[in-house]
Structure 1
C-alpha cells in the first residue's frame, strides 16, 4: 500500500525546499528538472523510472519539529455537495501559503495498490532511455516547434502580436533564440531569473492541495512541518490591472487571413470584452456562450445583435440548475487530477468556494451580461479566416517567430452591411424551456435483492428485460440499453447498409429535439450492430423516459419526415465513412478476414 498521498502545489519552490521535500517524501530523487525520455537509439540505455516524487511508502519516517506544530490559521470550510463524502479543511500557514486538505476514506486501499502496480508497469514500458542535457534541450525545442505547426498556435501568436506594447505581444512559447537574448551573458540571465523567482515565487502567492486517506489532523501536521519552510518575501502580489485593455489600437477590428495546413475553411470572430475574473458568481460569459452555441430549435449565432430582448432570467436559472445537478452527481475524479484542479481554483476563489466556485452559478447579473452583449457588434469584431483558397502572393506579412505568412486588411464593407441586415431576425429566438432537466432526485427502493449479475425480470414474445440493482453509488441515475434484434441486416449487404442509413437519418432528424437533453447531462446513442439496432440512454433517471420517447418518435416517423435532400446528404456522408474506414489497414484486414 503505497500511493496514499496526492499533492499539487500551484507555484514552484526553491531548491533548498526541494531538498527538504526529498528528505521527507519518498523517492530517492526529486530531480531539479524533469528528465525527458525517448525511444531507444544509438547509445541509449534502459533506466528504471524513479518513484513518484509525492508518494509516501512504508519506509516513510516523520520527525516533527515542535515549533511548527499547530501554527496554521484555519479558514472557512469549503462548501461541498451533499453527495460528497470527503472531508475538507482550508488553512493558511504562518508563512502565508494557503492549503486545502482533503481526507478521503472512501477509496478502497486494494484498488490503490492495483492502480499503482499498473502505473509502474506503464512507466517501466515507457522508460527507454535518458538523454544528456544538450540532447534534452534540443528535443524539447524540437517538440515545441512541431507543436507550433498548427493553425491554432499560429493565430494565437499573430493575435498576440496585435496587442502592441503588451506582454501578450511577446513570444508565447520559447526557443533557443528567445531564451538566449542577444548581448546578454549567462551570468546576467541567471541573475534576472533569480530576481524574478525571488519576486514572484513566494509562499503568500502559493496554493497547495493535498488529498489522502489520512485524517485532516495528520495531514495538517505534515503540511505545517514541510511547507512552512517556504520563504515569504513580504511583498504585495504584483497587479497587472493597468494591462486590462490590450487591443485598443488600430490593428484590431481587421480581417486577417492565413493558409491552414489542412484543407479547411474556418472563420473566427473575436471580441475583446471586460475581464470577468471577479464575476465568478454570475459567470456572464457562460450565459452568452450557452445561447450563442445552442443547437436546438431556433438556434442562433446572431441573435444577440438582432434582438432587443434583455438577458433572460429563465435561461439563467436553467443553466444554474443544470450545473448544480452536474456538480452534485458528477463522477469522482482521480486524486491527482482533483488536487490539480482545486489548487488552481484556490488562486481565484475564496476559501468557501474552493470546491464549487468554478462550476456553479450563484447570482444573475443582467447589467453586466448586457454590457457584454452590447460589445458584440461588427464595429469591434476581429476576424481570422483560414482558407486554402487564398494565394501565397496575397499573404504579404510574416509573423517573426513562426514565420507564418498572413494578410491584414480592412473588413469589407459588404460584410458589415450584411451583418446589419435584419431580414433573418424572425428566424432566431431564445432557446425554449428545457424539459429534460431532472426534478425528482429521489432514489427508488428496489423490490428485488442485489446480485452480481443482471436478473431477467420479463421474458415473452416481445422480448426480454434484465435488471441490475446498483448497491455502490446510490445515485438517482440509470443506464438503459435497448437492443432491437433483427436478422434482416445479415441476409445481404444491401440490408446492412440500409440499417446504417436508418440509424444515421434518425440521428439527423432528432438533433434539435435531443440537444436540450444533452445540455441536461443526459447521454444517448443510436447505432446499427451486427444483430440489430441498439439504443442507449443514461443519466439522471427522472427524464430518461422522455428522452427515450423522443428517440422512438423520430424512429417510427422517419419515413414520413425525412426529406430527400437530407437523405442524400446522409447517404453521401455514409459513403465517405465507409471509404475512410476501409483505407485503415487494421480495419481492412479485419473485414477481409471475416469474408
Structure 2
C-alpha cells in the first residue's frame, strides 16, 4: 500500500503543489506540480557512493554512474537517453559523492513521460556491455586528467590521502585507468562483473529516493512514479556503516603545508565532529558557523583584517556521510598572514574560547532562525533540474514532511547541543593545512593521485597548550543585533501604473543623472532592485586606469564588509563592480531597509580614505588574481579574447598584467580624483518601489554625489558600441 504525505511544509510564497510517497517497494518519492513551468525535471539518488568502493577498485561507484547511461535492455542504444533529451530541449547530469550517487535531467514538459521511461530503465535493467565498459573507462580517466590541475580536487584528495588508511575515506574517489583497468588486471578482477555485482548489491529501491517536477497534476505525476519506478527491485539492502572517524588521534595535532597550482594562500583548520543531522530543527553547528564566520565589527574576521592577515574567512559544517562530519574554518591569507599563521590560529581559538565564556545566547539563536526564515520565505526559484537535484538527497536524510525545511527553519532552542558541539572545537581535536607556492622548497612528500607536493609534521605540544589557554582580546565581541532585519513586508501601492506600462520609463533626468523606473506588478514580492552606473571618461583611458579602478573596487568592497554583512544576512545585497565605462552599483533584495544600505555604500564609495599599506595589500592581491587568470586553461582565455574582438575599447588581461609594475599609490589617488571629477549616472529602480519611493531614492543619491563642474555632452553618452567584424 502506497503511503501518501500531503502536509509537506513549504514557503508561503511557493505556489507549487507537493506530495510525498513511499511506494510499495519502499522507494521514497516527492512529487512537485508546477503549472507554470516549461521544463519538467526528475532526479533519483541511491544512498551509496565512493565510501562503498570495493577494496582494489577505487572509483567503481563513479564508474558505475557513467555506465548507467550506456544502454538498457529496453533501450539498448548507448546514446538513446541523451539523444532523446537533446532533441526535446533537455539535458542530463549525474554525480557521485561519499554516500550518494545522483542522476538528474530536465526536458520540455510534454516529453516527461517518455523521458521517465528511458530514465527508469537505468535502475531496472542496465546492460553494462563489454564494449561500453572498455570505452567508458577512458571517459572516467579523461575526467580525472582534466582535474589534475584543479586545486580544489588536489587539496580534497590530499585531505583524504592523509586520513586514516583503515578508513575508506582515504581511497581515491574518482578512479582512473590504473585503478579501473591496470590494477584489477594484475589482481585477476573482472571489472564488468564487479560493476554488475555493485549494482546488484546496492541499487535497491529501499535506499533510493526520487523527485519529479512537472506541469501535470499531482495525481498524474503519482501515476508516472508508480508505473515507471514502482517495479525497481527492493533488495532490502542495509545501509553501509563506517565505524570510526577518518581523522583519528594519529591524524590530529598535525600541520600540513601544501603546494597549489594557482598562486593562492589559505589556512584551513579541520575538526572531526559527531554527526548531528538528526538535530536539524536546532542545527547546533549552524549556530557556531554563524558566529565564527560573522564579519561585523568585533568579529574574528574584523580582527584579522585590522592586522592585515586576511580579507576573507568562512566556516562550514561538512556532513561527509552518515556518522562522519567535519567542521572547517577557511582563512584566505595575505602575504603578511602567511608569516603569522600560528598567531591567526591563536586568534581563532581566542574567539572560540569567547563563545565558551559567553555561553550560547537565545537571542542570537532567534536572530539566526529569523534570518533563515526570511531567506526561506523569499527564496527565488531555481531551474527545475537544479531544484530536484538538491531536494532528492535530502529526501533520504529527513522525514518527508520536513524535506523542504530541514536545517532552514529552526524551531528548537537546545543550548546543551551547542555546548556539546563546541567541546569538539579544541586545539587537540584538529589539524591545520596551509596552502602556498612558497612551500615548494620544503615539501618532501608527493600525494599519489594528483602529484600535490606537501610536508606534514606534528604541532609542538607547547603550541597546543598555548592555543588551549588563548584568552580573548578585548576587540573580539559577539555581534550586535542586526539592524537590517525587515520590520515590514508590505507591497507598496501602485496607483500610478497604467495598463500599458510594461517597460521601464524615464521618471527623472538632468544633465548629470537619468533615472528609469518600473514598479513590479507581476511577482508582488517585497523586493526591489536599484542599479546605477557611474560613467566616467577616465575609466578605460589606458591600462593603468583600468587596473586602478579594479583595485579601488576591491578596497571599497573591503571597507564595506563589516557593514554590508548584516544586510546580506537579512536578504539585502549590494554589489560594486568595475565596468568598461566606470562603476556599477547594484542593491537588491528586501526593500524595507534598502535606503540605509544605499546611504552607507554611497558615503564609502565617494569618500573612501585609503592608506598606503592597505593599497599595497590589495594591489598585490589584484596582481595575483591577474596572474592566475592569465595562467588558466586555453578555453577560458579564448572566450576572453573572443569577447575582446567585439569591443571598441578593451584591454586584454595580459596587457593589464604587463603594466602592474607601474602602479603607484600616488598615481592611484590621482586617478580616483580624476574619475569622480566627471561622471554621469544612469539609474534603474525596479520592483517594490512606486514612483514616490523611487523619488526618495533619487534625492538620496543626488545628495551624496560630488559636485561635478561640467556635464557630459549627449554624444559622450553614446558609449555602448560593439565592433562590426569585416568578412574574413
TM range (shorter): 0.7 to 0.9
Are 1:89 and 2:19 matched, yes or no?
yes
Give the distance between the partners of 1:413 and 1:470, measured in 2 at CA: 62
Give the distance between the partners of 1:502 and 1:434, measured in 2 at CA: 28
> Is the 8 Å Cα contact of residues 582 and 588 (structure 1) preserved in structure 2?
no
Give the distance between the partners of 1:157 and 1:148, measured in 2 at CA: 11
**Other-structure match for 1:218:** 220
Give the distance between the partners of 1:542 and 1:98, measured in 2 at CA: 41
**Structure 1 position 194, deviation (Å):** 4.0
Give the distance between the partners of 2:545 and 2:372, measured in 1 at CA: 43
Give the distance between the partners of 2:550 and 2:142, measured in 1 at CA: 44
**Other-structure match for 1:435:** 483
Q: String of CA shifts for 1:26-80, please: whole Å, max 9, x gaps.
A: xxxxxxxxxxxxxxxxxxxxxxxxxxxxxxxxxxxxxxxxxxxxx5221252111
**Structure 1 position 101, deviation (Å):** 1.2
Q: Sort the Cα spacing of 1:500 and 1:222 in 2 relative to 1 into closer, same or farther, 3 A.
A: closer
**Other-structure match for 1:175:** 176
Q: Sort the Cα spacing of 1:532 and 1:95 in 2 relative to 1 into closer, same or farther, 3 A.
A: closer
Q: Sort the Cα spacing of 1:518 and 1:407 in 2 relative to 1 into closer, same or farther, 3 A.
A: same
**Other-structure match for 1:363:** 412
Are 1:383 and 2:416 matched, yes or no?
no
**Structure 1 position 407, deviation (Å):** 3.0
Are 1:326 and 2:375 matched, yes or no?
yes
Mapping 1:532-547, distance limit 5 Å? 533-547=583-597
Give the distance between the partners of 1:264 and 1:500, measured in 2 at CA: 19
**Structure 1 position 349, deviation (Å):** 0.9
Q: String of CA shifts for 1:496-525, please: whole Å, max 9, x gaps.
A: 887767655433332221121122222212
Gaps of 5+ in 1: 1-70, 124-130
Mapping 1:335-350, distance limit 5 Å? 335-350=384-399
Give the distance between the partners of 1:521 and 1:282, measured in 2 at CA: 21
Residues 84-93 or 450-459, more deviating: 450-459
> Is the 8 Å Cα contact of residues 253 and 430 (structure 2) preserved in structure 1?
yes
Residues 206-215 or 413-422, more deviating: 413-422
Give the distance between the partners of 1:108 and 1:567, measured in 2 at CA: 49
**Other-structure match for 1:126:** none
> Is the 8 Å Cα contact of residues 280 and 407 (structure 2) preserved in structure 1?
yes
**Other-structure match for 1:353:** 402
Mapping 1:182-581, distance limit 5 Å? 184-185=187-188, 193-233=195-235, 235=236, 237-238=238-239, 240=241, 243-300=243-300, 301-302=348-349, 303-307=351-355, 308-391=357-440, 394-402=442-450, 404-413=452-461, 415-416=463-464, 419-420=467-468, 422=470, 425-450=473-498, 451-459=501-509, 463-484=513-534, 503-527=553-577, 533-558=583-608, 561-570=609-618
Matched residue SS, 1:208: strand
Q: String of CA shifts for 1:349-386, please: whole Å, max 9, x gaps.
A: 11111222143323222212112222211112112232
Q: Sort the Cα spacing of 1:159 and 1:495 in 2 relative to 1 into closer, same or farther, 3 A.
A: closer
Q: String of CA shifts for 1:173-210, please: whole Å, max 9, x gaps.
A: 222343353665456x5555444433322222221111
Q: Sort the Cα spacing of 1:194 and 1:459 in 2 relative to 1 into closer, same or farther, 3 A.
A: closer
**Structure 1 position 328, deviation (Å):** 1.6
Q: Sort the Cα spacing of 1:305 and 1:197 in 2 relative to 1 into closer, same or farther, 3 A.
A: same
Matched residue SS, 1:256: strand
**Other-structure match for 2:4:** 74
Q: Sort the Cα spacing of 1:197 and 1:360 in 2 relative to 1 into closer, same or farther, 3 A.
A: same
Matched residue SS, 1:250: helix
Normalized against structure 2, the TM-score is what?
0.62
Normalized against structure 1, the TM-score is what?
0.75
**Other-structure match for 1:50:** none
Give the distance between the partners of 2:419 and 2:154, measured in 1 at CA: 32
Give the distance between the partners of 2:446 and 2:462, measured in 1 at CA: 27
Q: Sort the Cα spacing of 1:87 and 1:377 in 2 relative to 1 into closer, same or farther, 3 A.
A: same
**Other-structure match for 2:77:** none
Give the distance between the partners of 1:465 and 1:339, measured in 2 at CA: 40
Q: String of CA shifts for 1:193-240, please: whole Å, max 9, x gaps.
A: 44443332222222111111111111212222222211122x363352
Residues 404-413 or 430-439, more deviating: 404-413
**Structure 1 position 166, deviation (Å):** 1.7
Matched residue SS, 1:197: helix
Q: Sort the Cα spacing of 1:136 and 1:528 in 2 relative to 1 into closer, same or farther, 3 A.
A: closer
Mapping 1:102-141, distance limit 5 Å? 102-107=32-37, 119=89, 134-141=134-141
Matched residue SS, 1:389: helix
> Is the 8 Å Cα contact of residues 477 and 541 (structure 1) preserved in structure 2?
yes
**Structure 1 position 411, deviation (Å):** 0.7
Q: Sort the Cα spacing of 1:444 and 1:225 in 2 relative to 1 into closer, same or farther, 3 A.
A: same
Residues 501-510 or 576-585, more deviating: 576-585
What value does the CA root-mean-square deviation take over the aligned residues?
Answer: 3.7
> Is the 8 Å Cα contact of residues 88 and 100 (structure 1) preserved in structure 2?
yes
Matched residue SS, 1:178: helix
**Structure 1 position 580, deviation (Å):** 8.8
> Is the 8 Å Cα contact of residues 100 and 209 (structure 1) preserved in structure 2?
yes
Q: String of CA shifts for 1:482-501, please: whole Å, max 9, x gaps.
A: 34566676999998887767
**Structure 1 position 531, deviation (Å):** 6.0
Q: Sort the Cα spacing of 1:238 and 1:571 in 2 relative to 1 into closer, same or farther, 3 A.
A: closer
Give the distance between the partners of 1:387 and 1:577, measured in 2 at CA: 14
Give the distance between the partners of 2:483 and 2:296, measured in 1 at CA: 12
**Structure 1 position 556, deviation (Å):** 4.9
Give the distance between the partners of 2:472 and 2:253, measured in 1 at CA: 24
Give the distance between the partners of 2:151 and 2:145, measured in 1 at CA: 13
**Structure 1 position 272, deviation (Å):** 0.6
Give the distance between the partners of 2:91 and 2:421, measured in 1 at CA: 51
> Is the 8 Å Cα contact of residues 259 and 452 (structure 2) preserved in structure 1?
no
